[in-house]
C-alpha cells in the first residue's frame, strides 16, 4: 500500500487469515523483488494477493523487501544512471519499444491475473494493455525525435554564446495506482516517461495486484537485457506496508517520485521527500471530484445527456481518477427533468466488483456520510452486484447552500456515487466554482444561448482544473501530445505538470545552460553539426561564428 494511503483510492491492506486458496491464472509469480534483474526474497511476514470479487487470498506468498534491499535497488539505479543517460537516443527508444513487445508477449495470462486481482473485466484490461504499450511507443517516438532534450541556441545581450539542453534528474521511484494495474503501474506512464527521459526506475509493486506487477516487471527486465541496457535501469520492490515506500523515497539516491493514489498517500510522500537533507520533487496525482457544470441550454434534451452522465459515473465501478463525482445542475423544471431521468437510470444500474474489499467498504461509508448530512437527499440507488464487493451506485442531491456549509460533501467518494448540487443563478454558480479545490478536470455543458455565461465561467474553470472539456464526459484520457492529466493542489502536488501525454517527460528533466563552450566539448545535440532534423530553436542574435 502507498505510504499512509487511505482505502478510498488504494488497495485493501487486508491481511488474509489463512494461506492461499489457489494460484492465479497463467504463470505463477515468485513473490520476490527484482533488483536490477536479480530475484531477492524479502524478510517481512508472508502475505498474499486477494481476489477482488471475493476477498479470498490466493497464490504465492509475498514478503516485503528489507531496508537493505530497498537501499540496494536505489544504489544499483544510481550506479548505472550516468551510463543509461549517456546512451544514444535510439538505444533508449529501442528499449521502450522492447518493453511494449515483451508485455504483449505475456498474452492472456497477464490479463487473467490482473482481472482476478483487480476485479476489472477482461475487455477493460485488454484496452488498458493497449494503452500501456501505446504509451511506451509514444515515448519511444518522442525520444527518437530529439525534441525531448529541449535544445536551444542563442546569444546573450553581450554576444555570449549560450546553449541549453535538459538532462535527466536521476533515479525515479514509481508508485503505481490500484485502479489501473497496467497503464498507471509498473510500466505505466510514470515509468515510460522516466525511462524516456534517461532516468532509471525503481518501482514499488502495488499490493492490490502483486502478481500483475511482477509479470510486467519481468517483461521490462527482459526488454532491458534484450536491448543491452545497464542492469540498474529497472528494479521492482515488493511491499504491502508503508515501510518500503517511505524507505525508497527517503533514500538519498532517489532524485524524484511519481505517485498515483489517495490524498493521504500523496501528502505522506511529499512530506517524506521534503524532510530529506536534499528534498526532491514528488509528482503525485491524488484526488478530484471533477465537476460537471450544466447550463440551461444543455438541458433541452435531458434523456440523452442524463444517460451519458450515468454511464460515465458508473463506468468501471466509478473508479476512475476523472469520475464526474460532482454535478452542478440548474434549479427549475429543466433541471428537475434531467435529475429524474438520471435517477431512473441509476436505479436500473447494478454494482460492479470494486478493486478491493477495502475500496468497496470505503465507498459504502462515503455514501453513508453524504446521506447523513442535513439537507442531502438520496435521489436514487441502484442494486448491489453479486458478491460482497459490488455495492450499488448512488445519486444524491442538495442545494448550493447545503454544499458550501458542509465540508464533508466536498471530498471525493471513490466509486459510482454522484452528488448533484442545484444552483439558482450565475452568481451562485460562480461562487460554488470559486470555492472548489483544484481538480483534474472541469466539464461545461452548454448551448450557443449560454455563450456569455460560458465565457464568464471559463477563466474560473482554467484556474481550477488541468483539463477543461466542452460537452462530453471526463472519463477517458487521450494519450497524446496535447493531453494534460494534472491540475492544482490537491488534484496533484505539481500543478505545472501532467502524468499523461508527451509532456509527462518534463517531470524528470532539468535544464542545463552551456555558455561560451568550445564546440568539441558541447553535447552532440548542441553542436553546430548536429544531425539534420534535430529540433533546436535559435534565439535572436545567434551567430555561429561566436564559437
Residue from 50, 25, 1, 58 nearest 389 by CA: 50
> Are 211 and 331 contained in the same domain?
no
166-184: average pLDDT:
97
The confidence score (pLDDT) of residue 19 equals 39
Is residue 457 within 8 Å of 444, Cβ to Cβ? yes
> Are 265 and 344 contained in the same domain?
no
Is residue 11 within 8 Å of 358, Cβ to Cβ? yes
- pLDDT tens column, 395-429: 999 999 999 999 999 999 999 999 999 999 999 99
Q: Which of 453, 470, 487 is the last residue in one of the domains?
A: 470
> Are 224 and 303 contained in the same domain?
no
Tell me, yes or no, whether 514 lies in a domain.
Answer: no
215-221: average pLDDT:
98
Tell me, yes or no, whether 536 lies in a domain.
Answer: no
> Are 237 and 366 contained in the same domain?
no
> Are 269 and 300 contained in the same domain?
no
- pLDDT tens column, 15-52: 333 333 333 334 579 999 999 999 999 998 999 999 99
The confidence score (pLDDT) of residue 303 equals 85
The confidence score (pLDDT) of residue 534 equals 61
> Are 180 and 257 contained in the same domain?
yes
DSSP string computed for 306-320: HHHHHHHHHGGGG-S
Q: Over 60: is that where the pLDDT of 437 sits?
A: yes
Say how many C-beta atoms besides its own lie within 10 A of residue 425's C-beta.
11
> Are 352 and 272 contained in the same domain?
no
Q: Over 70: is that where the pLDDT of 227 sits?
A: yes
- pLDDT tens column, 102-117: 999 999 999 999 999 9
Indicate if 285 belongs to the active site.
Answer: yes
With DSSP H G I counted as helix, E B as strand and the rest as coil, what are the percentages for the chain, rounded to 5? 40, 20, 40
Residue from 150, 155, 146 nearest 165 by CA: 150
The confidence score (pLDDT) of residue 398 equals 98
The confidence score (pLDDT) of residue 64 equals 97
Number of structural domains (the chain) is 2
Residue 391, phi then psi, degrees to nearest 5: -65, 160
> Are 270 and 171 contained in the same domain?
yes
Tell me, yes or no, whether 319 lies in a domain.
Answer: yes
Of residues 537 and 500, more confidence is placed in: 500
CATH at 84:
3.40.605.10
H or E stretch covering 446: none
312-321: average pLDDT:
97
528-537: average pLDDT:
66
What's the whole-number average pLDDT of the chain? 92
Predicted TM-score (pTM) of the model is 0.92
Q: Distance between CA atoms of 315 and 291, rounded to whole angstroms?
A: 16
> Are 88 and 227 contained in the same domain?
yes
The confidence score (pLDDT) of residue 23 equals 34
The confidence score (pLDDT) of residue 155 equals 87
The confidence score (pLDDT) of residue 60 equals 94
> Are 77 and 192 contained in the same domain?
yes
The confidence score (pLDDT) of residue 302 equals 84
Catalytic residue among 72, 214, 285, 397: 285
Look at 151-155, 265-269, 351-355 and tell me which has the smallest mean pLDDT.
Answer: 151-155
The confidence score (pLDDT) of residue 13 equals 38
The confidence score (pLDDT) of residue 528 equals 82
pLDDT category at 301 given cuts 50, 70, 90 is confident
The confidence score (pLDDT) of residue 536 equals 61
Of residues 357 and 156, more confidence is placed in: 357
Tell me, yes or no, whether 415 lies in a domain.
Answer: yes
- Contact residues for 510 (Cβ-Cβ < 8 A; gap 6+): 166, 167, 169
Cis omega before residue 490 (within 30°)? yes
The confidence score (pLDDT) of residue 141 equals 97
Percent of the chain with pLDDT over 70: 92
Q: Over 80: is that where the pLDDT of 5 sits?
A: no
Q: Over 80: is that where the pLDDT of 59 sits?
A: yes
Look at 7-21, 25-39, 462-476 and tell me which has the smallest mean pLDDT.
Answer: 7-21
Q: Over 50: is that where the pLDDT of 540 sits?
A: no
Of residues 543 and 264, more confidence is placed in: 264
Tell me, yes or no, whether 501 lies in a domain.
Answer: no
Catalytic residue among 321, 389, 397, 412: 321
Q: Which of 261, 285, 309 is the last residue in one of the domains?
A: 285
CATH at 343:
3.40.309.10
The confidence score (pLDDT) of residue 277 equals 98
> Are 272 and 318 contained in the same domain?
no
Percent of the chain with pLDDT over 90: 88
Is residue 492 within 8 Å of 286, Cβ to Cβ? yes
What range does the domain containing 329 cover? 292-470
Say how many C-beta atoms besides its own lie within 10 A of residue 437's C-beta.
17
> Are 327 and 193 contained in the same domain?
no
Tell me, yes or no, whether 533 lies in a domain.
Answer: no
The confidence score (pLDDT) of residue 4 equals 34
In angstroms and rounded to an integer, the radius of gyration of the C-alpha atoms of the chain is 24
The confidence score (pLDDT) of residue 531 equals 61
Here the cell at position 357 is 474489499
- pLDDT tens column, 322-334: 999 999 999 999 9
Tell me, yes or no, whether 513 lies in a domain.
Answer: no
The confidence score (pLDDT) of residue 87 equals 97
- Contact residues for 167 (Cβ-Cβ < 8 A; gap 6+): 85, 198, 509, 510, 512
Q: Which of 437, 470, 503 is the last residue in one of the domains?
A: 470
Q: Distance between CA atoms of 341 and 136, rounded to whole angstroms?
A: 41
The confidence score (pLDDT) of residue 538 equals 58
Amino acid at each position: 500500500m502507498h505510504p499512509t494511503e487511505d482505502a478510498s483510492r488504494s488497495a485493501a491492506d487486508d491481511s488474509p487469515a489463512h494461506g492461499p486458496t489457489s494460484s492465479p491464472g497463467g504463470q505463477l509469480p515468485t513473490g520476490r523483488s527484482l533488483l536490477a534483474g536479480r530475484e531477492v526474497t524479502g524478510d517481512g511476514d508472508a502475505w498474499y494477493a486477494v481476489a477482488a470479487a471475493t476477498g479470498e487470498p490466493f497464490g504465492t506468498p509475498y514478503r516485503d523487501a528489507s531496508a537493505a534491499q530497498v537501499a540496494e535497488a536505489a544504489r544499483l539505479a544510481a550506479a548505472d544512471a550516468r551510463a543509461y543517460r549517456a546512451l544514444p537516443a535510439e538505444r533508449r527508444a529501442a528499449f521502450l519499444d522492447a518493453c511494449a513487445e515483451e508485455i504483449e508477449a505475456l498474452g492472456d495470462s497477464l490479463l487473467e491475473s490482473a482481472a482476478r486481482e483487480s476485479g476489472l473485466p477482461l475487455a477493460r484490461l485488454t484496452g488498458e494493455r493497449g494503452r500501456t504499450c501505446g504509451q511506451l511507443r509514444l515515448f519511444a517516438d518522442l525520444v527518437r525525435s530529439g525534441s525531448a532534450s529541449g535544445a536551444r541556441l542563442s546569444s546573450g545581450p553581450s554576444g555570449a554564446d549560450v546553449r541549453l539542453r535538459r538532462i535527466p534528474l536521476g533515479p525515479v521511484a514509481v508508485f503505481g495506482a490500484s485502479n489501473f494495474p497496467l497503464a498507471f503501474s509498473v510500466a505505466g506512464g510514470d515509468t515510460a516517461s522516466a525511462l524516456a527521459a534517461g532516468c532509471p526506475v525503481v518501482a514499488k509493486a502495488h499490493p492490490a495486484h502483486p502478481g500483475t506487477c511482477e509479470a510486467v516487471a519481468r517483461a521490462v527486465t527482459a526488454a532491458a537485457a534484450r536491448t543491452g541496457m545497464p542492469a540498474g535501469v529497472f528494479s521492482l520492490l515488493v511491499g504491502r506496508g508503508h515501510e518500503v515506500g517511505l524507505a525508497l523515497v527517503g533514500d538519498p539516491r532517489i532524485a524524484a517520485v511519481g505517485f498515483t493514489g489517495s490524498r493521504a498517500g500523496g501528502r505522506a510522500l511529499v512530506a517524506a521527500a521534503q524532510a530529506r537533507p536534499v528534498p526532491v520533487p514528488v509528482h503525485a496525482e491524488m484526488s478530484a471530484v471533477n465537476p460537471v457544470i450544466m447550463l440551461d441550454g444543455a438541458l433541452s434534451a435531458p434523456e440523452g445527456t442524463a444517460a451519458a452522465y450515468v454511464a460515465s459515473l458508473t463506468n468501471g465501478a466509478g473508479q476512475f481518477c476523472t469520475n464526474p463525482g460532482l454535478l452542478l445542475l440548474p434549479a427549475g423544471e429543466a433541471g428537475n427533468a434531467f435529475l429524474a431521468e438520471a435517477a431512473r437510470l441509476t436505479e436500473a444500474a447494478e454494482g460492479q466488483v470494486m478493486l478491493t474489499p477495502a475500496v468497496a467498504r470505503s465507498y459504502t461509508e462515503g455514501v453513508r456520510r453524504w446521506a447523513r448530512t442535513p439537507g442531502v437527499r438520496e435521489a436514487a440507488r441502484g442494486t448491489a452486484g453479486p458478491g460482497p464487493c459490488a455495492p450499488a451506485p448512488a445519486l444524491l442531491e442538495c442545494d448550493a447552500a447545503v454544499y458550501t456549509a458542509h465540508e464533508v460533501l466536498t471530498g471525493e467518494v471513490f466509486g459510482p456515487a454522484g452528488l448533484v448540487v442545484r444552483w439558482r443563478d450565475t452568481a451562485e454558480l460562480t461562487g460554488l466554482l470559486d470555492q472548489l479545490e483544484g481538480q483534474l478536470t472541469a466539464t461545461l455543458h452548454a448551448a450557443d444561448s449560454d455563450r456569455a455565461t460560458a465565457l464568464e465561467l471559463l477563466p474560473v474553470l482554467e484556474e481550477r482544473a488541468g483539463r477543461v472539456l466542452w460537452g462530453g464526459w471526463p472519463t477517458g484520457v487521450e494519450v497524446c501530445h496535447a493531453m494534460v492529466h494534472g491540475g492544482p493542489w490537491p488534484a496533484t502536488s505539481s500543478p505545472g505538470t501532467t502524468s499523461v501525454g508527451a509532456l509527462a517527460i518534463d517531470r524528470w528533466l532539468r535544464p542545463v545552460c552551456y555558455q561560451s563552450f568550445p564546440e568539441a566539448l558541447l553535447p552532440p545535440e548542441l553542436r553546430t553539426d548536429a544531425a539534420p532534423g534535430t529540433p533546436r530553436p535559435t534565439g535572436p542574435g545567434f551567430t555561429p561564428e561566436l564559437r
